Structure 1
Amino acid sequence: MAIADVKEYTHLTEEEVEQIGRELDAIRTEVEESRNAEDAAYINRMIRIQRGLAAAGRVTLIAGTQSKRTRVPAAVLGASFLGLAKILENMEIGHNVMHGQWDWMNDPEIHSSNWEWDTAQPAEQWKHSHNYIHHQFTNVLGHDNDIGYGIMRLAREQRWHPYYLGQPVYNALLASLFQWGVALHDLDLERIRKGEKDPKEMKRQLKQIGKKGRNQILKDYVVYPALSGKHWRTTLKANATANLARNLWAYMIIFCGHFPDGALHFTEEELEDETRAEWYLRQMLGSANFEGGRTLHILSGSLGFQIEHHLFPDLPSNRYPEIAVKVRALCEKYDIPYTTGPLHRQYGQALRTIMKLSLPNHMTSSDDPAPPQRADTADEPARERRRLSDSERQPRRVELGGWSRQHSWEEA
């Protein structure tokens, strides 16, 4: 069941919640005041490694495919280099740069307002759908479009329809074509279906997506294959393999962050007069971590620390391991759930939820104990929750990063 009151669910008093907020603010301040040259060196090093991998992949495919003896090994090695480069650029670099994690460096090349990443969704649209919508309204039904991405049912409160019987298929398609699914995300397919989308804005977004998508297709499937000459098919297949690997990896990592057991959903009532401390608490309850070594965390964009990322989305990702120690101790102190586990288990739970919720509620059981409900909503049946427009949503929190709609984000 979705939560209508985080204080009631956690059995915390109002003062305890506000104290948690103060302690988290103190963690933020400590990191902000200690950002230094080592942090700047980290992101610059990641960018150099990523560009080196991309260059190695391109050179290997162009040069190695010229000989029949080296063609297959070059294709495998080139696809591997490119896949790693795309994963690193999308996850640890692009995602975090566009959150404003490195804006404090005042480096125009590594700034949230300038970065355009190597994927089909325009940066502007991603910053709106992700920085503003998802991080502000994490797991709130009717507000967070990441719950189901407009095509799947990922909460028991969402009304069931026979359409969802195909959910296993939709999920497989979304995973395989993830960059294209993300590219369409900010269009808000649900509002389009209901005729609530501004036609002019939709036309502008589609034009922007078309231009970005065209450039991605030309780069990966026309220009670089052409440079391989008569063996262009080998390079094209290697590029497609690299994109598929990036899509599947990004999909799995992102789904592990909000859909395993223990990552909770919330009703619109939770947003009523929500304080900063309550927002913090909702981020901790609505997010899930996974365990692993440093290399795994880097390749996952540090989203193995999803809880810490949602608390502090604009703090440098290389600082999340040290932040996690303090956040976990805070959760233990106040007996707040801290959802974490091995990567395979977190994804397995998310996949099980996807399969179960393709069926009506009466045919499946919930995997989480029902949290306390407000008296006026305890018996409320599953219902369709209307997506809200930006004008109907609350003002955004400044730490969520910039976004624009043909104007500066400060004016938004």
Structure 2
Amino acid sequence: MSTEHLTAADYAAIERELDALRDEITADLGERDAAYIHRVIRWQRGLEIGGRALLMASSLPPAWLAGTATLSVAKILENMEIGHNVMHGQWDWMRDPKIHSTTWEWDNVSPAEQWKHSHNFVHHTYTNVIGKDNDVGYGILRVAPEQPWHWAYLPQPLVNAVLAMFFEYGVALHDLEIDKICEGTNDPDETRAKLREIGRKIRRQWGKDYLAFPLLSGPQFMTTLAANFTANVVRNVWAHTIIFCGHFPGDVEVFEEERLDGETKGEWYVRQLTGSANIAGGRLFHLMTGNLSHQIEHHLFPDLPSNRYAEIAPRVRALCEKYDLPYHTGSLSRQVTSTWKKIFRYALPGPRRSSPAPAATRPEPVAA
């Protein structure tokens, strides 16, 4: 579905309506929202303690399975619903120094400060713009025909499977901008500083998961180490799946850099709408995805608390229907299948296609 039918007045109206929705939710934030994030953190910490306690007897298969499963859930919650969203600034309005984007360091090998630059700033500013948003294929995958084909893309189904298993390391390297390093256009001092920080974070994570806790389990050292490794892989595969299903399935659009020329806030909103996809599910499913199953709403309002996305989703969908815009959504199985089809298809040569023009008549920039 193209956006060519939108007029300058439509873009301005979309901007007003979505700004008003954001203002309404922001004004309503309060005690129930704060209680929600405190409750999730308590549950996550309880699950982690319980999982690690079970792994003290990890040589027993039932304890290993139960401990690994519990620790996996704890790591997913910390990564998705807590770490990702806290570092987006979704809870900064509480003024709680312990739950704040400037102080939170997540259970992940990617340093928080580097992630916030590559994700919060680069990705959310240039969402799905080829050449600007490094999340388009993560720099190693071809996920759209607009990306020129190269023989190096041929093994990308296997590359993507490996990326899923070790996703946290791919995320950790993201802010290095490998393409600039290969071109020789990076700042060597800055690159070395980032690598040192990544190294420190990896040593910290490995020391915790692969040394300290296995040692605490005594003779169960190897089985506990294997459980911690498995929990990290489960968390990585889940995070990769949810993120890819929110960005690459079906008819989700990518854009050329020209799209950014003179882009207004209304056009930015529309780019988020057409460049994102949701995943259908229940409350527990949405919790386990960090509410990134509401990827459309997250891209529109990345710093609104995640527990509000389900509430505003019907109104965002109604706006899309009003302006004849797509609202990409589907079951997890459908979105996974669609995404992997793209991974396999675009590993092979294919014709380039041009992204549709953003509008027949571009609106004038709205004054701040």
TM-score range, shorter chain: over 0.9
Query: What does residue 46 of structure 1 align with?
Result: 40
Query: What does residue 345 of structure 2 align with?
Result: 356
Structure 1: which amino acid aligns with 2:260?
L
Q: 2:175 is paired with a residue of what secondary structure?
A: helix
Gaps of 5+ in 2: 359-368
Cα deviation, residue 269, structure 1: 1.0
| TM-score, normalised by the number of residues in structure 2 | 0.95
Cα deviation, residue 371, structure 1: 5.7
Query: What does residue 206 of structure 1 align with?
Result: 195
Question: What root-mean-square deviation, in Å, do the aligned CA atoms of Structure 1 and Structure 2 show?
Answer: 1.5
Residues 1:16 and 2:5 aligned together: no
User: Residue 215 of structure 2 is aligned with which of 197, 219, 226?
Assistant: 226
Structure 1: which amino acid aligns with 2:47?
L
Cα deviation, residue 373, structure 1: 4.9
Q: 1:24 is paired with a residue of what secondary structure?
A: helix
Query: What does residue 79 of structure 1 align with?
Result: 68
Q: 2:337 is paired with a residue of what secondary structure?
A: helix
The 8 Å contact of residues 92 and 299 in structure 1, kept in 2 or not, is answered as yes
User: Residue 296 of structure 2 is aligned with which of 307, 310, 320?
Assistant: 307
Cα deviation, residue 372, structure 1: 3.9
Query: What does residue 364 of structure 2 align with?
Result: none
Query: What does residue 341 of structure 1 align with?
Result: 330
User: How far apart, CA to CA, are the structure 2 residues paired with 1:17 and 1:277?
Assistant: 5
Q: 1:223 is paired with a residue of what secondary structure?
A: helix
Cα deviation, residue 150, structure 1: 1.4
User: How far apart, CA to CA, are the structure 2 residues paired with 1:95 and 1:81?
Assistant: 20
The 8 Å contact of residues 139 and 266 in structure 1, kept in 2 or not, is answered as yes
Query: What does residue 290 of structure 1 align with?
Result: 279
Moved over 3 A (4+): 370-374
Structure 1: which amino acid aligns with 2:100?
H
Q: 1:197 is paired with a residue of what secondary structure?
A: coil
The 8 Å contact of residues 139 and 264 in structure 1, kept in 2 or not, is answered as yes
Query: What does residue 314 of structure 2 align with?
Result: 325
Residues 1:28 and 2:60 aligned together: no
Could you list the per-position Cα deviations for residues 346-387 of structure 1 after superposition, in whole angstroms to 9, with x for gaps in the alignment?
A: 11111110111110005xx98xxx76459xxxxxxxxxxxxx
| TM-score, normalised by the number of residues in structure 1 | 0.85
Could you list the per-position Cα deviations for residues 198-232 of structure 1 after superposition, in whole angstroms to 9, with x for gaps in the alignment?
A: 10110010000000011111111111000111121
Structure 2: which amino acid aligns with 1:213?
I
User: How far apart, CA to CA, are the structure 1 residues paired with 2:195 and 2:168?
Assistant: 15
Superposition pairs of residues 121-140 of structure 1, within 5 angstroms: 121-140=110-129
Query: What does residue 54 of structure 2 align with?
Result: 60
Cα deviation, residue 9, structure 1: 2.6
The 8 Å contact of residues 288 and 306 in structure 1, kept in 2 or not, is answered as yes
Query: What does residue 175 of structure 1 align with?
Result: 164
Could you list the per-position Cα deviations for residues 162-189 of structure 1 after superposition, in whole angstroms to 9, with x for gaps in the alignment?
A: 1111111110110011111111111111
User: How far apart, CA to CA, are the structure 2 residues paired with 1:340 and 1:219?
Assistant: 38
User: How far apart, CA to CA, are the structure 1 residues paired with 2:356 and 2:222?
Assistant: 58
Kindly, what percent of the aligned residue pairs are identical? 56
Query: What does residue 103 of structure 1 align with?
Result: 92
Cα deviation, residue 10, structure 1: 4.0
User: How far apart, CA to CA, are the structure 2 residues paired with 1:360 and 1:130?
Assistant: 29
User: How far apart, CA to CA, are the structure 1 residues paired with 2:32 and 2:357?
Assistant: 47
Q: 2:281 is paired with a residue of what secondary structure?
A: coil
Cα deviation, residue 277, structure 1: 0.9
Superposition pairs of residues 225-264 of structure 1, within 5 angstroms: 225-264=214-253
Query: What does residue 90 of structure 1 align with?
Result: 79
The 8 Å contact of residues 10 and 336 in structure 1, kept in 2 or not, is answered as no
Structure 1 residues 184-193 or 26-35, which shifts more? 184-193
Gaps of 5+ in 1: 1-5, 375-412
Structure 2: which amino acid aligns with 1:358?
A
The 8 Å contact of residues 61 and 235 in structure 1, kept in 2 or not, is answered as yes
Structure 1 residues 27-36 or 153-162, which shifts more? 153-162
Query: What does residue 268 of structure 2 align with?
Result: 279
Superposition pairs of residues 349-388 of structure 1, within 5 angstroms: 349-361=338-350, 372-373=356-357
Q: 1:108 is paired with a residue of what secondary structure?
A: coil
CA separation of 1:273 and 1:111: change in aligned 2, threshold 3 A: same
